Structure 1
């Protein structure tokens, strides 16, 4: 069967990210991507120049997907504490089991090493924190920055879940976030 002569970048980058999730960033080579896509290694080198640019392009594409998913979820939830919980539980569903979560942590290392990707993470943090602030504004103990605090609680709950993944990640995250919201829903002490 002849090799395909062309493939949209989106499909190539999805394949690259799939390889990274399965094999780690070090497993993403032009040869591995050529085998996965059927494109020639030379074609892939022409598109991406080098491995560093290929990894960056795959991760930028992944950030684009996360931004899109976040935007869709933000549009679907009410601006209430329940909406904040639903948003973060919805974002947790893609982690799957412990193996895929652990594999994603290997990829996060690449995000932290690259200034462009760190900037994407910072931008996403700000968008997420702002909508969480909107959702939590009606709580009796709400204060500026509560959205970032809730996002931090969410990320921490993912990590704590990973040490004992005996329940589905979404159930663990939801329980953790409900306790967080309950702590801020109580009237302040006089």
Structure 2
């Protein structure tokens, strides 16, 4: 008879993600995870087979969380340009520069793995669709404006990281408001 599991795989993957975010991808080992969650490394190997499998499963769990957060923010944000800003600001709660920088190490892992890269592409589609829905009321808005706004948002996160003064959310919101203002302000016709 099999022994009952003391921790679910999801609980273990959450612990793995905490390790990844605090110490980077190289710090995730069966031994470090075992110490973090109280299970033996051998038990973890039985469940996840390899370090690569463990890392992929943990990062897929993180993508699940980002998908859920994006859907929840999209469901609550109004179908207006201000709602698009609200959605992106809600996705910008990174904390300080160290947390953001560690996140870039995880992004590197996503880009190296085709399965994780596909999850990123899927999230991009969902996010841009949600943004397009909120920007569609702008007169003369071109198709694909959501991708343009998401790209501006990602760039603003990076620019904030070079000079991380103040809250990232405030920096992002100010930039996105300028972005939307530029879209709705048209030069007078000659």
Structure 2 counterpart of 1:166: 165
Contact 1:63 1:120 in 2 (8 A): yes
Q: Could you tell me how far 1:173 is from its partner in structure 2? A: 0.2
DSSP 3-state at the match of 2:22: helix
Structure 2 counterpart of 1:37: 37
- Alpha-carbon spacing, 1:121–1:189, altered in 2? closer, same or farther (3 Å): farther
Unaligned 5+ segments in structure 1 are: none
The Cα RMSD (Å) is 1.2
Runs of 4+ that moved beyond 6 A: none
Q: Could you tell me how far 1:170 is from its partner in structure 2? A: 0.3
> How many pairs does the alignment contain?
186
TM-score by length of 2: 0.95
Structure 1 segment 61-140 matched on structure 2, within 5 A: 61-93=61-93, 95-140=94-139
Structure 2 counterpart of 1:180: 179
Aligned mates of 1:161, 1:141 — CA distance in 2: 30
Deviation readout 1:44-81 (Å, 9 max, x if unpaired): 00000000000000000000000000010000011100
Q: Could you tell me how far 1:21 is from its partner in structure 2? A: 1.1
Aligned mates of 2:43, 2:128 — CA distance in 1: 41
